[in-house]
Structure 1
Amino acid sequence: MIADLHNHTKLCNHAEGEINEYIEKAIECNIKYFGFAEHAPMNFDPKYRISFEQMQSYEQSILEVKELYKEKIEILLGYEVDYLRGYMDERVLNAKVDYLIGSVHFINEWGFDNPEFIKDYENQDIDEIWQKYFDAIEEMAKSKLFDIVGHLDLIKIFKFMPKGNIAYIAKNALKAIKDADMSVEINVAGLRKPIAQTYPSYDLLKEVKKLNISITFASDAHKPEQVGLFSDETMKMVKELGFSQCVIYRNRKKEFINL
């Protein structure tokens, strides 16, 4: 991967390793543009994110390593922001960063990707769950608050798959992403999860390509050793689908990079 824009630090309380260890691993993997996108603070689910009081120190830490490593790699600064109505905060939305990733981890405050709450899938219609998830993605895109869509089909994490056609379920969300000029990250974390697929899947990436939606890449690393995993497989898939460019962001502006 030439670019890897979605990675975490131990500040989020569920990652490990030092910031420089992530960067050294990225350099080893020949990544040219490496981004940190910490779980942004909000007054909900504080266990799995930084606090508002930590924002300044997080941003300063990334800017310091950006300068330190500037001769070897370009470091980019972002946040992964949960799209959850009533909880998003202007301090995050207006932060001076390179990009904001918009992610959906909650359906009506249910943390569907958290193993602690996996039993909540029982006694629910899985097609309805998928539709609610993609409705939230659509709403997130229409807000035009974010640059990148985080792990587009995260709802598949535990292999609870719908009976209906996924491309149809995601159709309106994809249109909204296109209309908002957002990018879709190819997030390899799904290959480490029960579903054992990238987010989004090969089939959904076909739809992304049809709509000419731009892509970027994400290890979504929570440990330094996860940086750059599955790069070869991911690049092979992307080229098979006909993508020739990816994007990075500087100061919230999209820039195209040849693969």
Structure 2
Amino acid sequence: MLVDYHTHHVRCGHAVGELEEYVQAALAKGVVELGLSDHQPILHLPPDRVAPDSAMRWDQLPDYVEEALSLQAKYAGQIELRVGLEADWIEGQEEAIGRLLAAYPFDYAIGSVHFLGDWDITNSAELWRWAACEPAAVCTEYFRQVRLAAQSGLFDTLGHLDVIKRFGQVSAAQYEHLFEETVVAVREAGVAVEVNASGLRYPCAEQFPSRRLLEMLYSHGVPLTVGSDAHQPSAVGAGLDEVYALLKSVGYRQVCGFRARERYPIAL
């Protein structure tokens, strides 16, 4: 198992396990490179609107980075650890996101669209919001935000590209027509895309992105990285054997890793 560039831990409020437990799980499973990428503190909502289980608190972020860097040094020679952050793309918050990412020596930053305004579309507790929406319109806005995230230049890779399908609230017919414009925007921005295995564990029962979207990304030469999106140590590497087999069948012969915000190839 080559790389797993998407993991969380107890500080984010909706995961369990300490960082070192994830490292030990990766070692046990033969992961060559492990990315520590917990969720940034929420920056676009007032404190009284932030659920305690949504992300790290601001006061936890320095400790997270310090601990991750310490583990990187401790396990040098045993596993390649990369220190990252899963950051929210929020339109209008570009400067704040940039300052946050520049404040720490991250190896990489995942840019993910979780929020449409104050609605966390990836949160099962907010599924009730779909009842008041036109699903096709939500999809259109979601992929517009993905394109903006790509074009922002803030991120090294884009997380769970078609996560809008996670809970089965929309069908492929409502968003696949948006793929071409989105893939072109990603290619022109020069950003990588994450293949996130967690979709295999959700109602959509499919990795993010779908095979069709992966085939389009391949045809446009868009580089990929891979992540389990583990929220407990036992989930490190979960689904990645299936993902790597899929990537090879699509035509990919390499994925990418990151060091000091620089991308490099890793042969499959």
Structure 1 length as normaliser, TM-score? 0.95
Q: Which residue of 1 aligns with 2:19?
A: 19
1:218 aligns with 2:224: no
> Per-residue deviation at 1:164?
3.5
> Per-residue deviation at 1:232?
1.9
1:92 aligns with 2:86: no
1:248 aligns with 2:251: no
Q: For residue 112 of structure 1, what is the amino acid of its counterpart?
A: I
For residues 176-187 of structure 1, what are the structure 2 equivalents within 5 Å? 176-187=185-196
Of 122, 135, 156, which aligns to 2:165?
Answer: 156
User: In structure 2, how many angstroms separate the alpha carbons of the residues matched to 1:54 and 1:91?
Assistant: 17
Flag the 1:46–1:252 CA change in 2: closer, same or farther, 3 A.
farther
> Per-residue deviation at 1:234?
1.2
CA shift digits 1:211-257 (9 cap, x unpaired): 11000100111100111112221111111001000001100000001
> Per-residue deviation at 1:167?
3.6
Instruction: List runs of 5+ in structure 1 lacking aligned partners.
Output: none
Q: SS at the partner of 1:55?
A: helix
1:72 aligns with 2:106: no
Flag the 1:204–1:168 CA change in 2: closer, same or farther, 3 A.
same
Instruction: Report the identity percentage.
Output: 32
Deviates more, 1:249-258 or 1:49-58: 49-58
1:204 aligns with 2:213: yes
Q: Which residue of 2 aligns with 1:41?
A: 41
Which consecutive aligned stretches of 4+ in structure 1 deviate over 4 angstroms post-superposition? none
Q: SS at the partner of 1:122?
A: helix
Structure 2 length as normaliser, TM-score? 0.92
Q: For residue 139 of structure 1, what is the amino acid of its counterpart?
A: L
Q: How many residues align?
A: 259
User: Contact 1:96/1:251 (CA < 8 Å) preserved in 2?
Assistant: yes
Q: SS at the partner of 2:255?
A: strand
Q: SS at the partner of 1:213?
A: coil
Flag the 1:46–1:92 CA change in 2: closer, same or farther, 3 A.
farther
Deviates more, 1:219-228 or 1:109-118: 109-118
User: In structure 2, how many angstroms separate the alpha carbons of the residues matched to 1:216 and 1:170?
Assistant: 19
> Per-residue deviation at 1:107?
1.2
User: In structure 2, how many angstroms separate the alpha carbons of the residues matched to 1:66 and 1:217?
Assistant: 19
Q: For residue 2 of structure 1, what is the amino acid of its counterpart?
A: L
Q: Which residue of 1 aligns with 2:32?
A: 32
Deviates more, 1:89-98 or 1:244-253: 89-98
User: In structure 2, how many angstroms separate the alpha carbons of the residues matched to 1:62 and 1:70?
Assistant: 12
User: In structure 1, how many angstroms separate the alpha carbons of the residues matched to 2:7 and 2:201?
Assistant: 15
User: Contact 1:34/1:76 (CA < 8 Å) preserved in 2?
Assistant: yes
User: Contact 1:127/1:162 (CA < 8 Å) preserved in 2?
Assistant: no
Of 183, 186, 199, which aligns to 1:190?
Answer: 199
> Per-residue deviation at 1:201?
0.9
Instruction: List runs of 5+ in structure 2 lacking aligned partners.
Output: none
User: Contact 1:127/1:163 (CA < 8 Å) preserved in 2?
Assistant: no
Of 89, 113, 120, which aligns to 1:83?
Answer: 89
1:237 aligns with 2:246: yes
